Structure 1
Amino acid sequence: MALSPFRAHKQRVIAAHGRADIPEMDNKTANQYELMLMQLAEHRRKLKLIQSIERKIEVKRTLLPDYVAYVDGVLEGGSGRQDDVLMTIMIWRIDTGDIAGALQIAEYAIHHDLQTPDRYERSTACLIAEEAADTSIKAIESQNPVDPELTARVIAITQDKDMFDQVRAKLLKAHGLGLLKAGSLVSAVDYLKRALELDEKCGVKKIIEQTEREIKKQNSTQQAEEVVAPEETPAAQDEAPVVQEAPAS
């Protein structure tokens, strides 16, 4: 059930003031966090009863609004404390295709070196990269591609973080495919080639070959259009010679 505006505001304010220099507010924040953990546990139990991945995603989409005020408060407060609720909601946002919303949390999490809950068994950067890549590739396959600027942001915030080469390759592939859909063929090939360097089994060889052929075709067409045909010389017109009359004497 959605929070009332008053409760949402209260939740955001409490979450935002998680500072040790205000003991009373700090206790309220701790209590709020415990309440959110209990809510999350209940929601996770609900999701475990669902076998369909597609259905799970639909349910997550209906549950996410219950966490908006809390997430906004945590990000606003900037305490940098470990927060399993926040990290789980980041993943849920990616799962539901809200990569922009997930990045709001991801940038905060990486800046403060927050860890993923134990059940994910991956580093924060690795988890963000892989989940965002998977979601982006699925979106492309369903003809609803993610804005390449979003995958570019994921690449930017994870570029100096350690992760498996295969995961980084998958992220680069996702970004390259997004650029391909957007018509940026040359840039797409650059990212796809880098993905191939990191993981030769990432499935981009044929895509690169096809794209390079398309680039050559486009270049040839453009060059042909730029060739200026020699101007035709206008046909000479027969003109009667002009006879200049002698001046009168």
Structure 2
Amino acid sequence: MKCPFTAHIQRVSAAQAAKGQQVRLGALPLAENGAAATAYQLTLASLGNDLRQLSNTQSLETKISLKRGMIDTYRPWIEGALAAAKPAQDEIVGTMLVWAIDIAEWPLALDLARHVLAHGLALPERYRRTPATLIAEQVAEAGIGAAPTVDLATLQQVEAMTETADMPDEVRAKVKKAIGLAFKARAEAFDPTAESAVAGGKPALIAAAIAHLNRAFALDAKCGVRKIITSLEAEAKRIAADAAKTSAAEAAKAGEKSE
């Protein structure tokens, strides 16, 4: 665990780095040349070591586990960067944004995404995508797999913060597909007796799912939603038919009682 003093220095240094200032730490010399180094340089050196370890790891599952442990080292720097009045280009922040998405730490990922997009910061060159494209695609992919790891609210926030950004239609289709699948999952788990039950009930959730999936299909006909849409439309018709039968039966009973 990082000592409180070092964590404090990181927070202050990150905020000052955004102003073009440097905090030199004479008490923390570099191992090889003994020269004083800035907190940013020290933290960046630590990141370089971690990236090399990740690069030498083949298992994706192991990489994610490693990132969960490594990211704590950089939290004080992240806090300082997010608190800065005038944020500056920062490779540490950009990398931690990607890591937060990779490990599905959504509150942190959203905070960093807003920070990067609001201030027009670029990601490190190794990611080879614009920030909005990377954020949208990687978060969406977390909602498309067999075992989604991202919730509907997070997907909707990502859609909102990237809606005006230029990106490939295929990427935006992934976002709409992920949102559609999240609504579908909510429909499947719908409990009409729950206090949090949405207005309109299960039909409203299915309708929302269909709308988002149709938009995904319009953006990318190869995104794999056509069969899902067909299934949902059939379910919506069945529910409507059952509701009509129930209403007719209730009306008939009411008529019998009034006679």
Give runs of aligned pairs for residues 13-162 of structure 1, distance below 5 A.
Answer: 13-18=12-17, 20=19, 26-28=21-23, 31-138=38-145, 141-142=146-147, 145-162=149-166
- CA displacement at 1:76 relative to structure 2: 0.7
Q: Does 1:172 align with 2:172?
A: no
The answer to whether the 8 A contact 1:99-1:132 is kept is no
Residue by residue over 1:144-191, the C-alpha shift from the partner in whole angstroms, topping out at 9 and shown as x without a partner, is 552201000100010000001111111111111111111221111111
Task: Work out the CA distance in 1 between the residues paired with 2:4 and 2:170.
Answer: 44
The answer to whether the 8 A contact 2:173-2:220 is kept is yes
Aligned position for 2:27: none
The answer to whether the 8 A contact 2:152-2:179 is kept is yes
The answer to whether the 8 A contact 2:174-2:216 is kept is yes
Aligned position for 2:234: 213
Q: Which residue identity does 1:182 align to in structure 2?
A: R
The answer to whether the 8 A contact 1:169-1:195 is kept is yes
Q: Which residue identity does 1:212 align to in structure 2?
A: E
Q: Does 1:226 align with 2:254?
A: no
- CA displacement at 1:97 relative to structure 2: 1.2
The answer to whether the 8 A contact 1:87-1:117 is kept is yes
Unaligned runs of 5+ in 1: 236-249
CA RMSD of aligned residues (A): 1.9
The answer to whether the 8 A contact 2:13-2:40 is kept is no
Aligned position for 2:220: 199
- CA displacement at 1:47 relative to structure 2: 0.7
SS at match of 2:224: coil
Moved over 6 A (4+): none
SS at match of 1:27: coil
The answer to whether the 8 A contact 2:9-2:39 is kept is no
Q: Does 1:11 align with 2:6?
A: no
The answer to whether the 8 A contact 2:169-2:220 is kept is yes
Residue by residue over 1:33-78, the C-alpha shift from the partner in whole angstroms, topping out at 9 and shown as x without a partner, is 2222111110001111111111111111111111111101100114
SS at match of 2:143: helix
Number of equivalenced pairs:
227
Structure with max Cα Rg: 1
The TM-score normalised by the length of structure 1 is 0.85
The TM-score normalised by the length of structure 2 is 0.82
Unaligned runs of 5+ in 2: 25-36, 188-204
